[in-house]
A and B are shown apart, each in its own frame.
Chain A
Amino acid sequence: MPGTQKEKFIIPIGPQHPALKEPAHFEFTVDGETVTSASVRFGYVHRGIEKGAENRNWTQAMYLLERICGICSHAHSTAYAIGVEKLAGVPAPPRAQAIRQILLELERLHSHMLWVGVAAHEAGFETLFMYSWRDRETVMDILESFSGNRVNYSANLLGGVKYDLGPAQADSIKRGLDFLEERLHYYMKIVNNDESFLRRTRGVGTMTTAEAEQLGAIGPVARASGVARDLRVDAPYLLYEQFPVTIVLGSTGDLHTRFVVRIQELFESVRVIRNLLAGLPEGELTVRFPRRIPEGETISRIEAPRGGLFYFIKSGGGENPIRVKVRTPSLRNFMSVLVGSVGHQLADVPMILSGIDPCFSCNDRMIVVRRQPGKESVS
């Protein structure tokens, strides 16, 4: 058509969409099949958790925060507990810290395996999806036998943990790890050798080191691009100083490298859990913890499966927190999707999205309004 300007063509995706099982709304502007810009809208599962924490006492808030995410629930409650313990000046005893760390690494195992399955599914590789989800049940069974729950293990207390790890349980964990390690070798072989899989992942969603730095990417996404960011190494908490992990770095920053980095990280998790079980400190599980926390502000950061989890906690000296700010790794990494999808084919977007292992319940923490005529309720 003469004289017409090129019109923008916007493709809305979500909140219900075929690619992901969780709700978010994306708008991709495309030129033909190529993405030229992207924007996002969250909130479809916002629950008001930050506000809710202000209306609960220190202990109740921990149970609420644990429910931010079903996958990395222990990461949330541990980040919070470490922060509150810092404010109170009452650290958890070493044995409790070791048990927390074992759980964190078990959680990383099942979280990354869940992701391997989801990403394989997005790539059209259903067999790997089925395998990794079946094998993941090994971890879920361990967690269930330990705490009674598959998710939201509720293992933390302020000032310690609820459950001890006996020799029988340690044995069953070790058996589970032996099995998983074997399976991880198998996944690694598929990821590196299967031709159709490589075609869907190699060179897709590439983020260079400089881009990852500039976008502030964190977690496995950053490490696959060669950015050495891992709070377990950079700012060790719990017993990560005595029982360290080696940072796993990739260089190319494409989807394939993210697979490799995540699977390699699991070998590290397996190793550190074995070391912890071998050197589990003796002693108490809990210490006496005050109801009121002295006035102050603290920042507590831990490496959740998806990257650095950030907690800012403010106490006014009372029984309730004044403010709990949670910045989850997915929110930080979403920028890499929005920027990273530009220039790619629209068909690659689901893979780029799942490459960061997005977690929507992590992003959405705040408020859902149900409006009825003449009346408003917030839940």
Chain B
Amino acid sequence: MTDTLLAQGLRLVEGKFVSQTAPEANRIDLVIEPAQLTACAGALAAARWGYLSAITGLDHGAEAGKLEALYHFCNKAAVITLRVTMPRDNPVVPSVCAIIPSATLFERELMEMFGVVCEGTPDPRRLFLPDEWPEGTYPLRKDFIVPAPPAAPEE
């Protein structure tokens, strides 16, 4: 069942990805270029292959200089992940909201937490961070260090 679903999904995005791996039995990870994102997501969404379950941001650190956005599509037990790598100093991906309108909340989170620009997203406002949060500070990047909490008052 899961294998059939994965094979179906893979056929939908054939020729639209760079490489593929199978990290777990129920999963296929597809490495794609940012320009291929809307084509891949569009093919899966048009065929109603599952639903976009989450977008995970990953920071590989200043040394590697790369950010990654993972678009997880879940169909029953099967998970197809589209992996887009971006340079850390200019991370831009096209928005998928035109294809999957419900992705707007995920994209808003990705943008404010990692500083990724989702080009063409309908609502670029912050979702979780407060208004007074400093511009250009992205808390889920690895170089954001959580300051130590203030010391407890002495007894």
Contacts and interface: CB of A to CB of B under 8 A. Distances in A.
Contacts, number: 109
A368 B131 CA distance: 11
A331 B55 CA distance: 12
Which of B48, B54, B81 lies at the interface centre, i.e. has the most chain A CB atoms within 10 A of its CB? B54
B127 A42 contact: yes
Interface stretch (B7-15, B84-92, B139-147): B139-147
A335 interface: yes
B53 A335 contact: no
Contact of A216 (B52, B56, B128): B52
Nearest to A372: B150
B139 A299 contact: no
Nearest to B48: A213
Contacts of A339: 101-102
Interface string B30-60: 0000000000000000001001111011100
A312 B56 contact: yes
B149 A366 contact: no
B126 interface: yes
B113 interface: yes
Contacts of B100: 216
A364 interface: yes
A378 B147 contact: yes
Interface stretch (A45-53, A96-104, A165-173): A45-53
Nearest to A331: B105
B74 A308 contact: yes
A369 B53 contact: no
B53 A298 contact: no
B123 interface: yes
Nearest to A86: B24
A325 B127 contact: no
A42 B126 CA distance: 9
Interface string A204-238: 00000000011110100000000000000011000
B5 to A, nearest CB: 10
A323 B51 contact: no
21 contacts: A39-B123, A40-B105, A40-B127, A41-B127, A43-B128, A52-B146, A218-B51, A299-B81, A301-B74, A323-B56, A325-B57, A332-B53, A332-B102, A334-B105, A335-B104, A335-B105, A366-B128, A366-B139, A367-B128, A367-B133, A379-B149
